Chain A
Amino acid sequence: MKITLKVWRQKSKEAKGEFKTYQLDHVSQDMSFLEMFDVLNNDLVKKGEDPVAFDHDCREGICGMCSMYINGRPHGPLQTTTCQLHMRSFKDGQTITVEPWRAKAFPIIKDLVVDRSSFDRIQQAGGYISVNTGGVPDANEIAIPKKDADAAFDAAACIQCGACVAACKNSSAMLFVSAKISQYALLPQGQPERKTRAENMVAQMDAEGFGACSNTLACEAECPKGISVTNIARMNREYYVSKLSSDNV
């Protein structure tokens, strides 16, 4: 396959960025999208040009590190991670535009690499159950209806990649945050801190500069792990209930 790549190049956070065009003449349709970038980078180094910086690690769709905005869609044309996208999803001779995630709360570090530490901080604000190591009850003392356990798992399947934010015209992180809040809200272990968790995580989300939700459902459509927007509805309920009886008023 022959592919024309238009890639966003930006030397650093402060530098001004621009699209650069690269021609690739020997792309195999069995290559993953990231392997195509490996080939591009190998060629660039050979020519003495700076290779394209991009985030990636596990390359099996679970670590959530890869993050390319491909032809106007996070992770490209399929509902999967960039690392699981293969070149057979593209046509010979096609031009592919690749950008980083674009959101105020995800500042660009270099080229296609963005800073998603805001996601970590949101979880530090309350995305946990306050138990210390040791001294916990036997695992089977906590019976959890299978339905609830499965629903909690569905929410917990989020890989924190940020595609939901990249997909949203408001750069809202509500799908991500709601998945985290839901996992704990659905489980008995999460009940003692249920209200403060919702309150604190939402507050941190706002402080990081993520936008609001206007129900376009673009996040759900692009989420590689199929996280449902019903989590957002649940988060809203959790948030209102916690605010109505908040100790922080």
Chain B
Amino acid sequence: MKLDSKIPEGPLAEKWSKHKFNLKLVNPANKRKYEIIVVGTGLAGASAAASLAELGYNVKAFCFQDSPRRAHSIAAQGGINAAKNYRNDGDSVYRLFYDTVKGGDYRAREGNVYRLAEVSVDIIDQCVAQGVPFAREYGGLLDNRSFGGAQVSRTFYARGQTGQQLLLGAYSALNRQIANGKVKMYNRTEMLDVVVSDGKARGIITRDLITGKIEAHSGHAVLLCTGGYGNVFFLSTNAKGSNVTAAWRAHKKGALFGNPCFTQIHPTCIPVSGDHQSKLTLMSESLRNDGRVWVPKVARPGLKAVDAAKIPEAERDYFLERKYPSFGNLVPRDVASRNAKYACDEGKGVGSGLAVFLDFADAIKRDGKKVIEAKYGNLFDMYQQITGDNPYEVPMMIFPAVHYTMGGLWVDYNLQTTVPGLYALGEANFSDHGANRLGASALMQGLADGYFVIPYTIGDYLANLGWSDKIGTDHPAFREALEGVNSRLNKLLSIKGKKTVDEFHRELGLTMWDYCGMSRTEEGLKKAKKKIQELRAEFWTNVNVLGSNNELNQELEKAGRVADFMELGELMVDDALNRSESCGGHFREESQTPDGEALRKDDEFAYVAAWEYKGDNQPEVLHKEELVFENVKLTQRSYK
């Protein structure tokens, strides 16, 4: 298989305009003859479904939550980047493009990233027109802030809930189209397979989560806007329901999976408090602007936050400030996370041993409690609510947690996977963030894909396809997929073993975290592969899923998702094994500079690793899409 990224020829700044002109259009009168299936209603899905319906296409949209507004985009806190240059501080489309390619450690496509930066400005306009209440200044115009170490203030925000406000904007546009009858919405419905016939995506198989009814839906194209797969680690900042099933089913039907090992681990999360822990909570990394990260110089097992003040200054190791004097506590996410891990590996972790202090004592002394409260009040409250500790009086404890996955379904410039008619948008695709995502760029990409990319690119596919090229749900391809889904569900229900789904999921998560988390070694990854294979074999003989298929059965839902996570986990390990360089969020112990920093190997690994499924228990086949850098010069990151 030859991967064609379909990046248009010509100068960077003209690629998208030229491409848009060259795309075929669907006659306005014919648009109503097409049916498009959109799976997932987060930023990417809701914006795509609404925009396509506005154009005149018939859309069927699906979400597993009880309302589209609950998709996990809702939880994003910080903000959304856009190259508006409202602050006159030197921002531009090119600068946002450059920062994103560099931030992704040169593992993303220039053409895609430039387009993302280009349409970023339109996103803000669109959201404001919808009534999204962004933060404003006294003059009535939009406020911006600098985010995640960016040198310019390009981040638009809505207090600490930018994700919710942007999603409510897209959700309102979606609601308008539901009311217009152009979108048919299926809540509490989960996609369990994609139907491919004649080499093209033709529809999906779903399960109604209330009645258990398995249904077939046919369409001219299928859009997967189903988010990332951070929950493969069991503990992550993702919502409990976030899962890889839609993307994984698509992968097994022929869509290549790009860079699965690229995971982002966020440094400022609330640590695990016990075996009961079900998810992790992220706190905005803006906390590192004023908080100082430290551990005791000599290990003090079980040190509590209330006793931190007893450790004299001379016995504290402010390890980020020590190792990175010029960036200090503001080093990028991966560097901060990795160093916290090292401190804990040395036994210097505080609390449970898997935590470091984030201390505001100096900032409060310097600026006063009031100033700190104005900046971080809501975060301090949240911390106190969850942990019971008061961060105005004692240091916070933090530990890194899985937050975002840069990998995903491989897509070309049109957001089409390797299966014609099957598209992936937002976090579900691999395309724009390379090996590491910048803060405030996830929301940007989700909305860029949904509002401003797919409405153009899908037209080209549909115009070439023709509206009559569609198969009914009575076609053998649908029947076969239906049977597959039913037999898998029945299998899960018939095992009646001894272990719960969550027990398997936790074990998988621990293995992934220990061996395919913040830093990875060949030896560890090989061990992980074996462990996952054993766990998977055990799952299919010893999982206990009670109840039936014909009812609301949350254990059955979880079981299907965990089964897919196990297969994905193995692929992530394979990908991490193959990529014996350190880059972005992927740190290989074997690939370090003499002073212990990440060493990228551009000669060997400046490519997208796209994996092809070859059948159950068959090794996946690696395809390489070489990355071409015509505009940006590759440099090694340094924060010393």
- Which of B164, B173, B239 meets A133, CB within 8 Å? B173
CB–CB B161/A136 < 8 A = no
CB 8 Å contact bits of A37-55 with B (1 = contact, 0 = none):
0110010011011110101
Q: Which residues of B contact A51 (CB under 8 A)?
A: 546, 554-555
CB–CB A57/B241 < 8 A = yes
Q: Which residues of A contact B142 (CB under 8 A)?
A: 139-140
CA distance A150 to B127 in the complex (A): 16
Assess whether A171 is interfacial by the CB under 8 Å rule.
no
Assess whether A234 is interfacial by the CB under 8 Å rule.
no
CB–CB B122/A113 < 8 A = no
Asked if A117 meets B136 with Cβ closer than 8 Å, knowing A50-B546, A130-B176, the reply is: no
- Which of B54, B139, B165, B187 meets A156, CB within 8 Å? B165
CB–CB B130/A129 < 8 A = yes
Binds A, one of B64-72, B312-320, B404-412: B64-72
Q: Which residues of B contact A153 (CB under 8 A)?
A: 133, 158-159, 165
CA distance A138 to B385 in the complex (A): 40
CA distance A87 to B503 in the complex (A): 22
Within 8 A of B (CB), among A183-210: 183-184, 187, 189-190
Q: Which residues of A contact B451 (CB under 8 A)?
A: 133-134
CB–CB A139/B67 < 8 A = no
Q: Which residues of B contact A242 (CB under 8 A)?
A: none
Tell me, rounded to whole Å, the shortest Cβ–Cβ distance linking A1 to chain B. Answer: 12
Interface size class of A (residues with CB under 8 A): 35 or more
Assess whether A34 is interfacial by the CB under 8 Å rule.
yes
CB–CB B84/A84 < 8 A = no
Tell me, rounded to whole Å, the shortest Cβ–Cβ distance linking A62 to chain B. Answer: 5
Tally of B interface residues using CB under 8 Å? 81
Assess whether B137 is interfacial by the CB under 8 Å rule.
yes
CB–CB A138/B125 < 8 A = yes
CB–CB B70/A133 < 8 A = no
Instruction: Give the nearest-CB partner of A225 in chain B.
Output: B161
Asked if A139 meets B124 with Cβ closer than 8 Å, knowing A56-B240, A187-B133, the reply is: yes
Instruction: Give the nearest-CB partner of A63 in chain B.
Output: B70
Q: Which residues of A contact B639 (CB under 8 A)?
A: none
Within 8 A of A (CB), among B442-487: 451-452, 455
- Which of A63, A88, A138, A142 meets B75, CB within 8 Å? A63
Tell me, rounded to whole Å, the shortest Cβ–Cβ distance linking B545 to chain A. Answer: 8
Assess whether B547 is interfacial by the CB under 8 Å rule.
yes
CA distance A86 to B134 in the complex (A): 32
Tell me, rounded to whole Å, the shortest Cβ–Cβ distance linking A4 to chain B. Answer: 18
Q: Which residues of A contact B51 (CB under 8 A)?
A: 132-133
CA distance A143 to B86 in the complex (A): 13
Asked if A55 meets B385 with Cβ closer than 8 Å, knowing A133-B51, A133-B452, the reply is: no
CB–CB B273/A30 < 8 A = yes
- Which of B131, B241, B385, B544 meets A184, CB within 8 Å? B131
- Which of A28, A50, A65 meets B66, CB within 8 Å? A65
- Which of B65, B141, B282 meets A140, CB within 8 Å? B141
- Which of A45, A62, A146 meets B138, CB within 8 Å? A146
- Which of B67, B129, B281 meets A129, CB within 8 Å? B129
Instruction: Give the nearest-CB partner of A34 in chain B.
Output: B278
Q: Which residues of A contact B84 (CB under 8 A)?
A: 139-140
> How many inter-chain contacts with C-beta < 8 Å in the A-B complex?
216
Q: Which residues of B contact A78 (CB under 8 A)?
A: 385
CB–CB B276/A128 < 8 A = no
CB–CB B133/A152 < 8 A = yes
CB–CB B70/A65 < 8 A = yes
Q: Which residues of B contact A28 (CB under 8 A)?
A: 273-274, 276
Binds B, one of A68-76, A92-100, A118-126, A214-222: A118-126
Within 8 A of B (CB), among A1-56: 11-12, 28-32, 34-36, 38-39, 42, 45-46, 48-51, 53, 55-56
CB–CB B173/A110 < 8 A = no
Assess whether B168 is interfacial by the CB under 8 Å rule.
yes
CB–CB B122/A134 < 8 A = yes
CA distance A202 to B63 in the complex (A): 26
Assess whether B1 is interfacial by the CB under 8 Å rule.
no
- Which of A42, A116, A131 meets B130, CB within 8 Å? A131
Assess whether B179 is interfacial by the CB under 8 Å rule.
yes
CB–CB B552/A110 < 8 A = yes
Assess whether B594 is interfacial by the CB under 8 Å rule.
no
Q: Which residues of B contact A42 (CB under 8 A)?
A: 500, 502-503
Q: Which residues of B contact A30 (CB under 8 A)?
A: 273-274, 276, 387-388
Tell me, rounded to whole Å, the shortest Cβ–Cβ distance linking B328 to chain A. Answer: 28
Q: Which residues of A contact B133 (CB under 8 A)?
A: 149, 152-153, 156, 183, 187
Instruction: Give the nearest-CB partner of B123 in chain A.
Output: A139
Assess whether A231 is interfacial by the CB under 8 Å rule.
no
CB–CB A63/B140 < 8 A = no
CB–CB B69/A35 < 8 A = no
Asked if A189 meets B279 with Cβ closer than 8 Å, knowing A63-B72, A116-B67, A123-B175, the reply is: no
Tell me, rounded to whole Å, the shortest Cβ–Cβ distance linking B123 to chain A. Answer: 9
CB–CB B131/A145 < 8 A = no
- Which of A61, A116, A133 meets B126, CB within 8 Å? A133
Assess whether B74 is interfacial by the CB under 8 Å rule.
yes
Assess whether B178 is interfacial by the CB under 8 Å rule.
yes
Tell me, rounded to whole Å, the shortest Cβ–Cβ distance linking A20 to chain B. Answer: 16
CB 8 Å contact bits of B36-76 with A (1 = contact, 0 = none):
00000000000100110010000000000111111010110
Within 8 A of A (CB), among B567-603: none
CB–CB B552/A53 < 8 A = yes
Assess whether A80 is interfacial by the CB under 8 Å rule.
yes
- Which of B74, B131, B139, B175 meets A124, CB within 8 Å? B175
Q: Which residues of B contact A62 (CB under 8 A)?
A: 74-75, 161, 163-164
Tell me, rounded to whole Å, the shortest Cβ–Cβ distance linking B278 to chain A. Answer: 5
Assess whether B29 is interfacial by the CB under 8 Å rule.
no
Show 26 residue pairs from A and B whose CB-CB distance is below 8 angstroms, ordered by the A residue: A28-B274, A30-B273, A30-B387, A31-B276, A39-B276, A42-B502, A46-B544, A57-B65, A57-B241, A58-B74, A58-B75, A62-B163, A64-B70, A110-B552, A119-B67, A124-B179, A128-B130, A128-B172, A128-B176, A132-B51, A133-B126, A137-B125, A139-B84, A149-B134, A156-B158, A157-B161
Instruction: Given contacts A109-B552, A128-B176, list 11 more A-B pairs with CB under 8 A.
Output: A42-B502, A45-B544, A57-B70, A60-B281, A65-B70, A110-B551, A120-B178, A123-B171, A133-B451, A139-B134, A156-B158
